[in-house]
Amino acid sequence: EIKPEQDFKSLICPLCFKFIYKSQSTVCGHIFCQRCIDEYLIVKKTCFVCNKTIRTAKGTLLIQSFTIDDIILQLMKNCEDSEIQVQWETQKFEHKTWLLQKKVDKVEIGDHIDVRDTDYIWCIGEVKMIIESIHKEPIVAVHYLGWNMWYDELLPLSSPRIAKLGYYSSRNDIPKYRLQQDTEGSRKGLMQAFMLNRVNDIKKVVSGGDAISPKGGESEDTKSIQGQVLSLDPQPGVGERKKKENQ
């Protein structure tokens, strides 16, 4: 890892402590690797650095900083440190592998895929319609399995909210919807986002590295909770807006 006290501090991702690769800038101005911030936002809605809310149901604005990317690329070309060069090549390979593993190249009507909803929860979706046009990428109509049709969406096939079936939905370290139950155990027609067997820290979700707590200390979202069901959002009503079909 690159030590943050070096002169390149502003070019180092706060999540992985490596040179930023494929930069993504948040609304609060902090910059991360594309893969790092993508994984981080699955489980957190506030900036890792300043704790400002950057993920909302209305959308998450992330902008690529081409200037930062160009500066780092030039540094890598002139870098004589073999260890940093090897690390950089590893980052490039891992990023490319990440994109290829989750990429959906082609779908047919009735296919199931992973799809991320507006609350950043990965679900399983069914392709209901494919809209194709010349010189434009296909757009797919996606139905969230288990939800009513009001939540169906039209998404470009290359959208970061679409992935191969099982890439995210098979994971146990990210939020999943569960049917909410009342105190007597009876079923309700509401869903809530929960996580089972949460890993020790957000940093481990992102890169598998050493645990680092976000600014402000450890929060409920980053504590180790094994074998428990944890509501990710303490605010009443959040994550409960979708109703199950046939309830």
Exposure string for 36-71, b = 16+ CB within 10 A, e = fewer: bbbbbbbbbbbbbbeeeebbeeeebebeebeebeeb
More confident residue, 136 or 140: 140
Q: Which of 84-98, 172-186, 200-214 has the lowest mean pLDDT?
A: 200-214
* Cβ-Cβ contacts under 8 Å for 155 (sequence gap 6 or more): 115, 139, 140, 142, 161, 162
pLDDT in tens, 79-112: 888 888 999 999 999 999 999 999 999 999 999 9
Task: Show the CA angle centred on residue 64, arms to residues 156 and 5, nearest 5°.
Answer: 145
pLDDT of residue 199: 37
Domain spans of the chain, in order of start: 9-102, 112-163, 176-231
Stated as kind and residue range, the H or E segment containing 196 is: strand 187-196
pLDDT at residue 182 tops 90: no
pLDDT of residue 180: 63
Count of CB atoms within 10 A of residue 130's CB?
15
pLDDT at residue 219 tops 70: no
pLDDT of residue 215: 32
Phi-psi region of 135 (alpha: psi -120 to 50; beta: other; left: phi over 0): left
Asked if residues 44 and 221 have their Cβ atoms less than 8 Å apart, the reply is yes
CATH class of the domain at 9-102: alpha beta
pLDDT of residue 109: 95
pLDDT of residue 81: 85
Cα–Cα distance for residue pair 23/34, rounded to 1 Å? 6
Q: Which of 93-107, 152-166, 172-186 has the lowest mean pLDDT?
A: 172-186
CATH of the domain spanning 112-163, picked from 2.40.128.20, 2.40.30.10, 3.40.50.300, 2.30.30.140: 2.30.30.140
pLDDT at residue 140 tops 50: yes
Cα–Cα distance for residue pair 166/121, rounded to 1 Å? 14
Q: Which of 82-86, 95-99, 175-179, 213-217 has the lowest mean pLDDT?
A: 213-217
| Mean of the per-residue pLDDT values of the chain | 76
pLDDT in tens, 3-27: 544 567 789 999 999 999 999 999 9
pLDDT of residue 144: 94
pLDDT of residue 178: 75
